[in-house]
Each structure stands twice: as structure tokens, then as C-alpha cells.
A and B are shown apart, each in its own frame.
Chain A
Amino acid sequence: MTETLLALDGLTKAYPGVIANRDVSFSIRRGGIHALLGENGAGKSTLVKTIYGLVRPDAGTMTLNGAPYMPADPGAARRAGVAMVFQHFSLFDAMTVAENIVLGMDQPPSPRAISAEVRRVSQLYGLPLDPARIVGDLSAGERQRVEIIRCLLQDPKLLIMDEPTSVLTPQEVDILFQTLRKLAAEGTAILYISHKLGEIAALCDEATVLRQGQVVATCDPRTTAPRAMAELMVGSVLQAPVRVARPEGAIALTLRGLTAPAPHRFGTALKGIDLSLRAGEVVGIGGVAGNGQDELVAALSGEMAVAADMVRLGDTAIGDAGVNARRAAGLLCGPEERLGHAAAPDMSLTENALLTGARRKDLARRGFVRWPAAKAFAQEIIAAFDVRTPGPEAAARSLSGGNLQKFVIGREILQNPRVLVVNQPTWGVDAAAAAAIRQALLTLADGGVAVIVISQDLDELMEVSDRFCALTDGRLSPSRPARGLTVDQIGLMLGGAHDLEVAHVGA
């Protein structure tokens, strides 16, 4: 028995027009947690699909346990002891937990045995799960448990996890990491794919960095600085966003007692939100998703009308105005969901540029679209924000997440807003694109625009904000200067204890 479980040697896979993997070689130790790092589009997914038998490489070999390994399909990979948890869960919403688990096994035991087995394994690893529940009703963390238990029931030698934490809350991430460490201690090798450097430093003991399909470095993430790993991934030196001290401007946006009922059964009501925002200022709003972020954006964008007085742009009450009227007045929004909310997935970038820019960029006259102007506007966004795409005719869906995000944020910025509201501007975006988006927001504020950034990423908020507020259960805390705020203070604000002094005494 050798120390090495899986060795990859010279794996190459080309798709028309792009080489996804070029001569990739590395090896994974038995019982090790091996990180596979890389930007979006670096070839991580293709590589793990090769290991899991979903993609056949053009060249190269793999060795598992000293024997040649080249699975023809995922079934063969599972029989060889390789299991995979997918980034977008491979679950069936309308089916029960037990049925979902059976579907991931090649030789499933009887239905009764499977329920008992699920209970046993879920208790063993501290992952409580009821086998009879319908998967569609589960939270993201519970859904991931289903995937993990499905893998564990097959006693895998190698567990592949493709960006497992992108949908989890911090508490769920902690539970996941405990489970993974326990598995590794029992001798299971784990291949962990991510671009979140903090997680990798905390969890993994070896890392391989991919860039443009090639292995550019192997390092020990416990001793390598996250910044150095980020630069290996990106291939250039990362610039932290630069902020220029900004003069206090006039009040640009005022929310006074903004109250609205929950728009649907799973929504959050907004309760008496007060906030005033000066021109040239960035206010960061933090909070765990589902605490009223979507509703606040809807109330600001005009998708949800409120009493006129609750939202004032400058001196004008616009709370009851519609989306187009607000856009015309200079209040622009970039919603969280890129595909389907911020952009129409199957329409071209030109058409998407037109959809929000028609009014302010004068792209339609007397009901007729000015296509040349719309196309020029799309090209302007593509050029200004370094959107990687074949051209403005490309469908929004065909862009990677980071590129589309640069496009939808850039589209609003280039319309010269007075106030810009963005929700999760860098969600699922790689490090280089995220830095570019943050820099663009700061540059916009330097130009005298008031910006509201709503995000779950506290590091991001600390990087860009002048003031910070916490949104908890539809209530907004009073704002505090962002500079000098500690993680503990933020934690208290997010916990709903808005008055920090009292909280300190209590603690």
C-alpha cells in the first residue's frame, strides 16, 4: 500500500476553441484534504468531472491505488471508490431523502434498510437527516447533507467536493468542516475545490493551483499566505481597492420609517428603516440572507411601492414611484440574482443593456428602439469593465458568473446614477473580478454618487464602506463608521443587539 491514493499524469482535455486542461499532473494522499484552487474557468470542474467519469480526457492517465484508472461513467467511478458532491446539487426536489440516496448508489439495499442506514450514518457524522422528508422542503445545508450521506454510504476512498460552501451559512460551514476532518482522519482522501482562500487555509493540508487549465503551483495552504495563493490563482499582483477621502456631500437619499409587509409567504417585513445617505458616501448593509435584503432592494428599486414619504431622493418623495420613474430620477439598482432578475438569460447583451438603460441612455425614441445606440452602449460596458465575451450579441446566459456580474453592475454605473444600490455585488465572482467591481463602486462614489452595498461578505463591506449598518429581521441598525469596527462589534450588530454600549455591559 502506497501513501498515494490517486495520481493524475498529463491530463489534457480540449473543447472546441478552449483547452480546459493542459498536461495536469498531481497526486492525492490517502487521508489528505487536497485543495484544488483556481479562478472561474480555470478548468477545475473539467478536471474533477474527468476523475468522476463524466468527461473523457484527450490524453493522460490516472492511477488509483497503484492500478490504472479510467472510469467510463460515474457508475464505474463509484465502484472504484470515488464519490462526488456537486456544486449545484444533483438532487431531485420532488423525491424523498431516501429515494435521492438510493439513486446515487449502484447496489442499493432494500428501502427499509436504507432508512436505518441513513439514520446510522447521519448520527455517526453529526448530520441529522430524516429519510422520509421531501428534498424540495430542505434548506441548502440539509440538501448538502443528503449529497454527503449519499457518498458516505458507499464508503468512498476519495470524496470530491465541488465548491461545497457557496450556499451554506457560516454555521453550516463549520459543521461541514468537522465532518470532513473526521472523514480524513478515518483515511478518506478529500479533493476540495474552492476559490475561497480562508476556507482552504483552515481545512486543507495540500493545495494545487490551476490557472488557464494548467497547474501553476503546489503549496501548503497552512503556511502560504492567502494573498500569495490569490496571486498564484490570478497570475498577477492583486490591487486592494483604493479609497480617496471624500468630502461630505448633500443628502442624496433618505429613508424615513420605511415599513412594508412581507411580499410573500417566505418574505420578511421591513420595520421602520431609517437611513440617510450623502452624495459620495458608501453605506454597507450587512446581515445573513433572508433578513429583508431582497425586500429592501425591492422597496428602493420601485418593484415594491411604499408610501411616498418613506423614500426621498434629494428633496423629492419617490416612495410610490415606479421603477422607470426612479431610474429617470437617478436611483438605480443592481439586484442579487444575475440570471433572471438583473439580466434576461436568453437575451443578448445588447438587449440586456437596453432593458435598464433605455431611459437614461436615450436608447428608445417614440417607441422605437435605437439599436445602433443600444449596441454601442453594450460595447461601452464591455470595454469599460473588461467583460470577457465574444461580443454584444452573446446571450447573457453564455457568460460566466463573474463576467455577467461585471456587465450588470457596469450597466448601472455607466448610466451616471445619483444613487446606486447593489445587492451581493460579488456573489460567486472570482477574486480578480470582485476586486474590479469593488474598485468601480469606490470610483463611482469618488465621483459624488451615493452607493448602498448590501452584502453577506463582511470583509467586502469593511473594504468599501464608509458607514456600516446591520439588517436583522427587517430592522436596520443605526449606522456606525466602518473604520475601526471590530468583528465582535459587527457580530453583536448582526445579532440584533443594536446598542453596542448596553451589549458591552451585558457581556
Chain B
Amino acid sequence: MDLSAINPILLLASLMVAATPILLAAIGELVVERAGVLNLGVEGMMITGAVSGFIVAVATGNPWIGFLGAAAGGAALSLVFGVLTQYLLSNQVATGLALTLFGLGLSALMGQGYLGIRAPAFPDVHVPLLADIPVIGPIVFQHDPMVYGGLLIVAGVYGFLHHSRAGLILRAVGENHDAAHALGYHVRRTRMLAIAFGGACAGLGGAYLSLVRVPQWTEGMTAGAGWIALAIVVFAGWKPWRLVLGAYLFGGVTVLQLNLQAAGAAVPVEYLSMSPYLATILVLVIMASGRSPGSLGRTFHAAR
């Protein structure tokens, strides 16, 4: 094994890139779950976002419009889930699982004519001054805009949940939907908006894979990232800043194990492949999980 083949600066730099799709999907799901809805369809919304973002980007030649299309695609699919669970009162777990399977199939269908095409280039930003700092510059300040966009969304979600009245209402709806209804808040409307936001974020996460990370379309390219996002939300105790930690940890170990594989480490590849999952779960469990929103996953029926 040749460890010298691993460049620590490059490794740390690719960490943020590897973590971004999961971070985007997870922050969306965090908002959904704080509103009391358990949407297990993150994987399906991600892959749908990946393909719709890719199609729009190829058609327009503009990756920015592609990301918009991905957000719209993810949100549209999530609204199917929203109508089924919030208005037709279907079971959230079963509907979410169905949404994942549906999304995987739908994306394969949509992506038929797009296999083997390269996505339009999405240039990295070179943050003025900061990017020229030795070591830190290449690690933190020489990425594509979506890496920073993801962090901005997390910061925005934190501010929204803890410092805005709308965020307080969203948390109230997730904590005790009967009480929120009794006080005159619109439980379904709040939840539909949260679900759509979650879908849009998952779509962005998916498009990050198909437009930046890979960057081309292949069937099933999310490869379980949506499930990891779901797990990170739970293990992060529904707290945004711990979500960032979990996503970066996962991204970091993923990049490290890929590098180790490339360097020919004397460990079976299977162990290396499972290491990001193990490390993420281990660390977040040790950090003691938080309390789940009181109404999480429960069906709300206004008649009572």
C-alpha cells in the first residue's frame, strides 16, 4: 500500500463535495420531520431530481437552470406524497417507501435518451483572496457554488426554525398537531409546504450528483444516498448543525476509503465500503440522540 499517493489537501477538499448531496437531502428531510411528517421517499425524490435536473441542464445548457428544474422535479414528486398522506390520510411509512420505488422507476424512464451524455460544465468559484490562502484555500474556498449553497440553506433553516414565527409554528405543528390545530394553525398547509421544501432539497441533492459530482446520468446513481440522509437526520437529533457534522463525517470517510482503495490498502474492499456508514452511525450515536418531534409520523385528522 502506498499511503503517499493520498494527498491530504485534495482529500479534505473532496470531503465537502462528497458530503453536499447528502447534506442537501438531509436538511430538507429535517424540515419535513420537524413538521411531524416522516417521508421515507428521499431516495426517490433525489433520483428524480437528478434526472430532471440533468434533462433541463442539457436542454438549456445552463446548470443553474438545471438545478432549478431538479428542485421543481423533487418538489413535484414530494407533493404526490403530500396529497396521499395529508389529504387522503395514507400511511406515511408505506407511502414513503412506495415513493422511493416509484421515483427510481420514473427516473429510469425519464433518463432513457440521456445515457452517456456529459452534463454542461459547472465551474468552481474562486472566492477572492480567501481561495489563495495556502492549505485552507484549496480545501474550503475553491468549490462549486452549490457546496456553499447547501451550507447557506442549512444556516437559513436554522434561522428559520429558531428565530422566525413561521418556524415556531412549523415546530409546533410537528410537536403536537392536535394542539396546533386547536390554536387555529393550519396543520395540513404547513406540512404540505414543508414536504415541498423537503422534495426540492432532495432534488437539489440528486442534481448535485448528476451535474457536478459524476457528472452524467446513470440509472440508480444515488445508490442509497437518500437513505443515509434519512439516517443522518435521526442521528443528528433533528438539529441542523449536527446534520452538517454528520454529513461531513460521512463524506470524509467516503473519500478516505475511496483513496485507501485506490492506494491498495490491505483491507478487503467490502470493509472499506461499509466504513462510512459505520463511522457515521457510531459517532452520532455516541453523541446521544435528541428527542424526536412529538407528532412525527402520526396521521393528522382534523375532525377530532
Contacts and interface: CB of A to CB of B under 8 A. Distances in A.
Given A78-B184, A103-B169, 6 more contacts: A89-B179, A90-B183, A93-B175, A93-B294, A95-B171, A95-B175
B184 A53 contact: yes
25 contacts: A53-B184, A74-B182, A74-B183, A75-B184, A78-B184, A86-B179, A86-B182, A90-B176, A90-B178, A90-B180, A90-B182, A90-B183, A91-B176, A92-B171, A92-B179, A92-B180, A92-B294, A94-B175, A95-B171, A95-B175, A99-B168, A102-B168, A103-B169, A103-B185, A108-B165
Interface residues of B, number: 17
A94 B176 CA distance: 9
Contacts of B204: none
Closest 4 interchain pairs by CB?
A: A74-B184, A90-B179, A92-B175, A90-B182
- Which of A89, A94, A99 lies at the interface centre, i.e. has the most chain B CB atoms within 10 A of its CB? A94
Interface of A: 53-54, 73-75, 77-78, 86, 88-95, 99, 102-104, 108
B82 to A, nearest CB: 22
B185 to A, nearest CB: 8
B61 to A, nearest CB: 47
A17 to B, nearest CB: 13
A92 B179 CA distance: 8
A354 B53 CA distance: 57
A94 B291 CA distance: 8
Nearest to B184: A74
Contact of A95 (B172, B183, B184): B172
B293 interface: yes
B182 A92 contact: no
Nearest to A74: B184
Interface in B132-187: 165, 168-169, 171-172, 175-176, 178-180, 182-185
B172 A92 contact: yes
Contacts of B184: 53-54, 73-75, 77-78
Contact of B182 (A54, A93, A102): A54
A93 B183 contact: no
B294 A103 contact: no
A333 B176 CA distance: 33
B234 to A, nearest CB: 16
Nearest to B290: A94
A93 B176 contact: yes
Contacts of A86: 179, 182
Interface of B: 165, 168-169, 171-172, 175-176, 178-180, 182-185, 291, 293-294
Contacts of A77: 184
B179 A94 contact: no
Q: What does DSSP make chain B's interface, helix, strand, loop or mixed?
A: helix
B179 A91 contact: yes
Contacts of A90: 176, 178-180, 182-183
A77 B175 CA distance: 24
Contacts of A93: 175-176, 294
Nearest to A94: B175
A36 B180 CA distance: 25
B255 to A, nearest CB: 36
A22 to B, nearest CB: 20
Nearest to A99: B168
Contacts of B171: 92, 94-95
Contacts of B178: 88, 90
A92 B185 CA distance: 13
A18 to B, nearest CB: 13
Contacts of B168: 99, 102-103
Contacts of A99: 168
A104 B293 contact: no
Nearest to B179: A90
A376 to B, nearest CB: 32
A243 B259 CA distance: 85
Contact of B183 (A88, A94, A104): A104
Contacts of A103: 168-169, 172, 180, 183, 185
A94 B293 contact: yes
A224 B16 CA distance: 76
Nearest to A53: B184
Contacts of B180: 90, 92, 103
A111 to B, nearest CB: 9
A53 B294 CA distance: 25
Contacts of A78: 184
A90 B124 CA distance: 50
A104 B172 CA distance: 11
Contacts of B185: 103
Point out which of A74, A103, A108 has the most chain B C-beta atoms below 10 A from its C-beta.
A103
Contacts of B294: 92-94
Contacts of B293: 94
Contacts of B183: 74, 90, 103-104
Contacts of B291: 94
Nearest to B291: A94
Contacts of B172: 92, 95, 103
A84 to B, nearest CB: 8
Nearest to A54: B182
Contacts of A54: 182, 184
Contacts of B165: 102, 108
Which of B168, B179, B183, B293: most chain A Cβ within 10 A? B183
A435 B172 CA distance: 40
A172 B183 CA distance: 25
Nearest to B295: A92
A397 to B, nearest CB: 11
